[in-house]
């Protein structure tokens, strides 16, 4: 009897340890098995915590969608590693008519995956598709100044502008303004069967799970060294690290510095990426409709502490414009640093001296650091009497709520750009494509954005965009938090990969990456 009891105790102990172990070790094993079974040995596997959600390059908003479709599609212009414009499908460009027209000379000998040649007709069709309201392009505002798109011949296109538009080139670097096949547009297959001119051609896709690409044999940029690339979702960064160690993943895209740190012996490329974290606020209803409540929120949040807690200090506190010649200085017009006294003063002015409560959404699947940001902010806001409830959502649920604006506040990870109009024209400009998730709108912001975009003088632009930053933070439209590093962990034997800061181009060197 005693032996049986002891044996039973040992079994229960082993089972419990096993269960707890399984709980603790996350889900590392499962994705590894999946990767091993679903990839051929020659497939180069790129892992990210989120999977590709949509295939239409004009409507994507998810970071990994940008990165992956950036391998299939080309744009007219792209950023290099130093964030300078370099030719892509346009060999050269020139402004004319007092900056009211820009003419592109196109690359010759470029072939789409469907076998058709790239010409000015593709530029006209692609950009008209962007402008068509029914497309729902997330970045149509990048072309808000475009009056007409005129083909000057098979390899020359002019964009006629209604006003000078200094941000036009930066807008044209986005995946949202990719060059599409006219056949695919006519057939209505853009959202289901990507057909581009990039180094890789679409092969297969399982939404939110994986996407497989094959080398494009006709790529105009030269021979593509990888026969096949699979972009796979592995739900946690620890699991990605395990997969790298098991050599079932060749490139891991990480955001958590503590995970990257564990991969000793691997090459970790770190870039201060073109993105920023912000607490986006909806100002139409509830306590956040009151500007003073939003200001209280902005003053109560300790951004430096959020950087310390969520990315272990590996980031920079920023204002609305994080990088470039128009970077926001100071980061906030009302509270560059935490100021609980000021927060309480604003609460009193709002008529809520004892504080208020609201709910903020996060998605660990889309931004693994968002939960830590929220927990840190929750504690700080409580000091001012502001109660923030946290609701963590799955990646696609978060994106749906975000696009519909059905949230009070959202911890968001948004793409950035050195050009403020490119960043905020689509949120706060006239007819903004993302005006719904942006919440706040005002003619003052629209005019400032327009003035900065039209100006050809750097000094005048700096003045306009500095005022834009001041208005955005002064009205606590959102609370801008920080920008941080992205990490690309390169597996053993992988050569030639270089991680780029711009989302669209971040994986572009995969075409010349080799595995020994």
Q: List residues binding another protein (CB under 8 A).
A: 1-2, 5-6, 8-9, 12-13, 16-17, 19-20, 23-24, 26, 236-238, 256, 258-259, 261-262, 305, 308-309, 312, 364, 368, 371-372, 374-376, 378-380, 382, 389-392
Q: Which is nearer to another protein, 91 or 387 (CB)?
A: 387
**Which residue reads 């419990």 in tokens?**
16
Q: Which is nearer to another protein, 17 or 227 (CB)?
A: 17
Nearest distance in Å: CB 1, another protein: 5
Buried residues in 280-290 as b, exposed as e (16+ CB within 10 A):
bbbbeebbbeb
Taking alpha carbons only, the member of 467, 421, 462, 466 closest to residue 444 is 467
Nearest distance in Å: CB 371, another protein: 7
Side-chain half-sphere of 437: how many Cα atoms within 13 Å?
23
Nearest distance in Å: CB 297, another protein: 17
Nearest distance in Å: CB 391, another protein: 6
Q: Which is nearer to another protein, 24 or 341 (CB)?
A: 24
CA distance 410 to 428: 17
Q: Which residues contact 440 (CB under 8 A, 6 or more apart)?
A: 281, 283, 428, 475, 477, 478
Nearest distance in Å: CB 382, another protein: 8
Q: Which residues contact 404 (CB under 8 A, 6 or more apart)?
A: 436, 437
Nearest distance in Å: CB 24, another protein: 5
Contact between 427 and 144 (Cβ < 8 Å): no
276-to-147, 281, 308, 410, 413 alpha-carbon distances in Å: 31, 15, 15, 13, 6
Q: Which is nearer to another protein, 19 or 33 (CB)?
A: 19
What crossing angle do the helices spanning 370-383 and 303-311 adopt, rounded to 10°? 150
**Cis omega (within 30 of 0) on the bond before 330?**
yes
Q: Which is nearer to another protein, 382 or 460 (CB)?
A: 382
Q: What is the largest CA-CA distance in the chain?
A: 97
Q: Which is nearer to another protein, 306 or 333 (CB)?
A: 306
Q: Which is nearer to another protein, 316 or 504 (CB)?
A: 316
3-class DSSP assignment, residue 483: strand
Nearest distance in Å: CB 487, another protein: 12
């Amino acid at each position: 009897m005693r032996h049986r009891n002891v044996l039973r105790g040992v079994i229960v102990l082993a089972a419990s340890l096993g269960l707890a172990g399984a709980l603790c070790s996350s889900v590392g094993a499962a994705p590894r098995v999946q990767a091993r079974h679903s990839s051929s040995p020659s497939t180069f596997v790129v892992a990210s915590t989120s999977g590709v959600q949509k295939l239409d390059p004009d409507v994507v908003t998810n970071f990994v969608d940008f990165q992956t479709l950036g391998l299939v599609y080309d744009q007219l212009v792209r950023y290099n590693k130093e964030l300078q414009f370099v030719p892509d499908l346009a060999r050269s460009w020139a402004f004319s008519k007092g900056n009211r027209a820009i003419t592109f000379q196109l690359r010759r000998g470029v072939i789409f995956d469907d076998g058709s040649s790239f010409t000015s007709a593709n530029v006209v069709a692609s950009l008209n598709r962007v402008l068509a309201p029914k497309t729902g392009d997330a970045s149509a505002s990048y072309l808000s100044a475009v009056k007409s798109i005129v083909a000057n011949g098979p390899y020359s296109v002019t964009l006629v502008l209604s006003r000078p538009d200094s941000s036009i080139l930066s807008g044209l670097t986005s995946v949202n303004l990719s060059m599409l096949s006219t056949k695919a547009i006519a057939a209505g297959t853009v959202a289901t069967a990507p057909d581009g001119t990039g180094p890789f051609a679409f092969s297969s896709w399982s939404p939110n799970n994986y996407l497989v690409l094959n080398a494009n044999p006709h790529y105009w940029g030269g021979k593509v060294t990888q026969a096949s690339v699979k972009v796979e979702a592995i739900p946690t960064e620890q699991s990605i690290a395990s997969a790298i160690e098991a050599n079932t993943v060749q490139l891991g895209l990480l955001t958590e510095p503590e995970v990257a740190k564990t991969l000793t012996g691997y090459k970790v490329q770190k870039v201060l990426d073109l993105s920023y974290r912000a607490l986006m606020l909806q100002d139409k209803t509830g306590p956040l409709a009151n500007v003073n409540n939003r200001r209280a929120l902005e003053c109560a949040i300790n951004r430096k502490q959020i950087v310390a807690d969520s990315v272990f200090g590996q980031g920079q506190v920023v204002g609305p414009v994080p990088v470039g010649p128009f970077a926001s200085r100071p980061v906030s017009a009302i509270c560059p640093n935490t100021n609980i006294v000021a927060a309480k003063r604003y609460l009193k002015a709002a008529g809520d001296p004892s504080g208020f409560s609201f709910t903020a959404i996060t998605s660990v699947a889309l931004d693994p650091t968002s939960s830590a940001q929220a927990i840190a902010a929750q504690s700080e806001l409580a000091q001012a009497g502001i109660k923030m409830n946290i609701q963590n959502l799955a990646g696609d649920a978060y994106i749906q709520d975000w696009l519909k604006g059905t949230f009070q506040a959202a911890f968001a990870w948004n793409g950035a750009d050195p050009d403020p109009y490119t960043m905020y024209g689509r949120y706060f400009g006239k007819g903004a494509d993302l005006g719904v998730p942006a919440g706040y709108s005002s003619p003052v912001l629209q005019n400032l954005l327009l003035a900065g975009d039209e100006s050809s003088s750097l000094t005048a632009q700096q003045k306009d965009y500095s005022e834009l930053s001041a208005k955005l933070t002064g009205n606590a439209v959102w609370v801008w938090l920080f920008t941080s590093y992205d990490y690309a962990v390169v597996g053993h034997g992988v050569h030639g990969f270089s991680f780029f800061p711009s989302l669209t181009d971040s994986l572009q060197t995969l075409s010349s990456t080799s595995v020994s």
